Amino acid sequence: MNIANFMTIIGFVVCTVVILILLVVGLYLFTIDKRQKQHPILRNYPLIGRVRYFLENIGPELRQYLFHNNREGEPFSRNDYQHIVKKAKYKRDVLGYGSQRDFEEPGYYIRNSLFPKLTEELKMDRKTKVTTERYLLINEPLFAQRKEQLDKDESPVYLLEDDDAIVIGEQTRNPFKVKGQIGMSAMSYGSLGERAITALSEGLGIAKGTWMNTGEGGISDYHLKGGVDLIMQIGPGLFGVRDMEGNFSWDAILEKSNIPEVKAFEIKLGQGAKTRGGHIDAEKVTEEIARIRMVEPYKSIDSPNRFREFSDLPSLFEFLAKVREHTGKPVGMKVVIGSNHEADELAKAIKDTGMGPDFITIDGGEGGTGASYQELADSVGLPIRSALPLVDNALRKYGVRDSLKIIASGKLFSPDRIAIALAMGADLVNIARAFMITVGCIQALQCQSNSCPVGVATTDPDLQKGLVIEEKKWRTANYLITMRKSLFRLAAAAGLDSPTKFTREHIVYRDEKGRTWSLDDIYQAMVQPKNINDIS
């Protein structure tokens, strides 16, 4: 027998064995599908019905990469996502040919000036510069991996001048002074892994002039890696400022206030995506996280819906005052606004008591979270462009607007969105998910499962290996620097020498009929509508 015949026989035998195995497996699955009682499609169409479940499982990926156009998809469209990535990777934010915005749709526009400001006229810190690493795109062939290389790039960090710096808690013993209007919103260690938190901390530290909100999970060593200023958030679970029985600890909060990076405290009453207490699954509660939060390891954590330390605005304000006096640091509150009533009640209480927070963080209902419930995320709490003007109006109505600062959050991931928020009354803005994208998030929507495929929203050590801190920290820094640069560019286009000067007069709203409205028109209609058709 020659070699050719031998190989032919071997091939025939192998093919026969494979076919027999497939037949046996197919018969087994056919029997299982036919006998199971849970899925009618499998009982009626054994084996073939499994194709449906396969397509169902890969549906999100198919829509994200193939079927959605560039402006479709939530929480972020392909355009939104790519604009963030390009700022982070290439430190560039230009586009070619023209905008893909649908100009027939109603929306907000920034009013341009006939005489914009020149670059040299902008009130900007021109002395502070940093060197980061950005990618240079060399070639992007159709059927091969794009060719790009890291290159060092020195640039200004586009901070405000000292005279325009925003001071939180001017009357406290240790006011918090910031020269950048963009910071990182609350994201806890535990919801995000140590590599993600470290990369964010180091990147924000490189960019300077910003802050990092710790989230309600307490302060970890990873938050401190980059030397960036911290706002320590305290939620109803009191993580990091409690004893092992769950009671508030004045000794613990004093200890946290003595950390040099801690510049302020934020009492979290609510969050846009979940107006309820926080949740973290048991598999994420490692021994280290348990130590930081002062809870038992490997047990799910659920925070209560509200604090037990206060039950109304006067008792809340008293609690804020005690924390402020005890720590010497500014103290704010994070809220979700549901109607004009809540905003009015809050402003009136500040006026009547002569007390209140040093800052209010207003979180819109479109904000993100590691885990929530669909009905809460979709329907509870107003989006930021409705909530923000309600609070600003109410504070002005009672003459207490100048007593505090407003931080806005809720998908404010682009310079134009930030400019509109500043004009609506915000002093500062928080960003969360866009910063997650800078360190690798691909919108896999697995934040709640501890199985994030890119190692961002997970504590799994194997999955975290995919996140390289030394590379991702530059992306975080580049994104923030480019955002601030773009914000100055928008201010110049509006005839302003600083983005701190955006006001209502700089924004117009165009409805679906082509009519335009000033923000004052809209605000007045929100407070006292004359006709439901007056404002679309």
What are the pLDDT digits (tens) for 426-452? Answer: 999 999 999 999 999 988 888 877 888
Residue 226, domain member (yes or no)? yes
Same domain (yes/no): 247, 360 = yes
**Are residues 159 and 20 both part of a single domain?**
no
Residues in the chain: 536
Mean pLDDT calculated for residue range 278-284: 71
pLDDT score of 373 more than 70: no
Contacts of 120 (CB under 8 A, 6+ apart): none
- Residue entry with tokens 């209502």: 504
pLDDT given for residue 76 in this prediction: 77
**Sign of torsion, CA 85 86 90 91?**
negative
Q: Are residues 173 and 315 in the same domain?
A: yes
Give the pLDDT confidence of 204-233 residue by residue, as tens digits.
999 999 999 999 989 999 999 999 999 999
**Among all chains, which residue has been given the structure tokens 């946290």?**
256
- Opening angle at CA 388, ends 384 and 390, nearest 5: 125
Q: Are residues 185 and 45 in the same domain?
A: no
Same domain, 149 and 17: no
Tell me the C-alpha distance between 297 and 181, whole Å: 37
pLDDT tens-digit readout, 136-172: 988 877 776 778 888 999 999 999 999 999 999 999 9
What is the tally of helices (H) and strands (E) in the chain? 17, 19
- Encoding tokens for residue 49? 């019905």
Question: Looking at the predicted structure, is the pLDDT value of residue 285 above 50?
Answer: yes
Q: What span, in angstroms and rounded, lies between the C-alpha atoms of 353 and 327?
A: 22
Same domain, 47 and 169: no
111 part of a folded domain: no
Domain assignment present for 117: no
State which amino acid sits at residue 205.
G
Q: What is the pLDDT of residue 534?
A: 46
pLDDT at 310: 92
Note if the pTM is more than 0.75.
yes
Mean pLDDT of 112-136: 95
At 531 the pLDDT is 45
Burial 256-271 (b: 16+ CB within 10 A, else e): bbeeebbbbbbbbbbb
State whether 12 and 157 are in the same domain. no
Residues in Cβ contact with 382 at an 8 Å cutoff, skipping those fewer than 6 apart = 336, 337, 338, 339, 364, 365, 390
The highest-confidence range among 31-45, 318-332, 519-533, by mean pLDDT, is 318-332
With the C-alpha atoms ordered 236, 180, 174, 172, is the resulting torsion angle positive or negative?
negative
pLDDT, average across residues 54-78: 73
Domain boundary pick from 57, 74, 95: 57
* 280 or 239, which is more confident: 239
Sign (positive or negative) of CA dihedral 234, 236, 239, 242: positive
The C-alpha atoms of residue 512 and residue 420 are separated, in whole angstroms, by: 19
Q: Which residue is associated with the tokens 């009547």?
A: 352
CATH at 186? 3.20.20.70
- The per-residue pLDDT for 79 is 83
On whether the CB atoms of residues 424 and 388 are closer than 8 A, the answer is yes
pLDDT exceeds cutoff 90 at 40: no
Q: Which of 106-110, 200-204, 364-368, 444-448 is the most confident on average?
A: 200-204
Provide φ and ψ at 98, rounded to 5°: 160, 170
What is the C-alpha separation between 210 and 184, in angstroms, rounded? 8
At 218 the pLDDT is: 92
Q: How confident is the model at residue 536 (pLDDT cuts 50, 70, 90)?
A: very low
| 405: nearest Cα among 161, 160, 210, 166 | 166
Per-residue pLDDT at 275 = 60
Compute the mean pLDDT over every residue in the chain, rounded to the nearest whole number: 88
Q: Is the pLDDT of residue 530 over 60?
A: no
Let me know the angle formed at the C-alpha of 118 by 113 and 124, rounded to the nearest 5 degrees: 110
The token pair at 416 is 């134009």
Q: Are residues 19 and 165 in the same domain?
A: no
Q: Are residues 324 and 190 in the same domain?
A: yes
Domain with 460 in it:
124-510
- pLDDT surpassing 90 at residue 347: yes
% of the chain exceeding 90 in pLDDT: 56
Band (502; pLDDT cuts 50, 70, 90): very high
Which has the higher per-residue pLDDT, 2 or 266? 266
Residue 3 pLDDT greater than 80, yes or no: no
Task: Say if CB 289 and CB 281 are below 8 A apart.
Answer: no
> What pLDDT shows up at residue 55?
76
Tell me how far the alpha carbon of residue 169 is from its chain's centroid.
Answer: 24
**DSSP assignment string, 7-68:** HHHHHHHHHHHHHHHHHHHHHHHHHHHHH-SS-HHHHHSTTTHHHHHHHHHTHHHHIIIIIS
Residue at a domain's end among 18, 38, 57? 57
How many angstroms separate the Cα of 495 from the Cα of each of 112, 161, 250, 407, 414? Answer: 7, 18, 49, 24, 20
Confidence check: pLDDT of 260 > 50: yes
**pLDDT, position 535:** 41
Q: For CA atoms 101, 103, 105, 108, give the dihedral sign.
A: positive
Residue 69 covered by a domain: no
Q: Give the CB-side neighbour count of residue 443, counting CA atoms within 13 A.
A: 19
**Residue 203 located in a structural domain:** yes
Q: Are residues 279 and 428 in the same domain?
A: yes
Q: Token digits for 221?
A: 């060593």
Q: How confident is the model at residue 273 (pLDDT cuts 50, 70, 90)?
A: low
Lowest mean pLDDT among 253-262, 362-371, 525-534: 525-534
Inform me whether the pLDDT recorded for 243 exceeds 90: no
Name the residue with higher pLDDT: 278 or 426.
426
Last residue of a domain, one of 57, 82, 103: 57
Question: Sign of the CA dihedral 320, 325, 326, 329?
Answer: positive
- Residue 417 included in any domain: yes
Number of domain units in the chain = 2
pLDDT top residue among 283 and 194: 194
Residue pair 458/452 in contact (Cβ under 8 Å)? The answer is yes
Angle among Cα 54, 454, 153 to the nearest 5 degrees reads 140
Residue 158's pLDDT is: 97
Instruction: Find out whether the peptide bond into 75 is cis, omega within 30 degrees of 0.
Output: yes
Q: How far is CA 387 from CA 29, 76, 338, 391, 409, in A?
A: 54, 21, 7, 6, 10
What does the alpha-carbon distance between residue 368 and residue 463 come to, in Å, rounded to a whole number?
22
Q: Does the residue 355 lie in any domain?
A: yes
Average pLDDT over residues 84-103: 86
Question: Residue 67 domain-assigned?
Answer: no
Asked if 350 and 430 sit in the same domain, the reply is yes
Residue 451, φ and ψ in degrees, nearest 5: -120, 30
CA 448/CA 369 separation, integer angstroms = 9
pLDDT of the residue at 133: 94
Inter-residue contact 441 to 433 (CB < 8 Å): yes
Q: Which residues pair with 167 in a beta bridge?
A: 177
Q: What integer pLDDT is reported at residue 112 of this predicted model?
A: 94
Say what the pLDDT of residue 80 is. Answer: 86
pLDDT at 42: 82
Rounded CA-CA distance 498/500 in Å is: 5
Strand spans (E) along 250-385: 262-268, 279-280, 301-302, 331-335, 359-363
| 499 and 375 within one domain | yes
Q: What is the pLDDT of residue 279?
A: 67
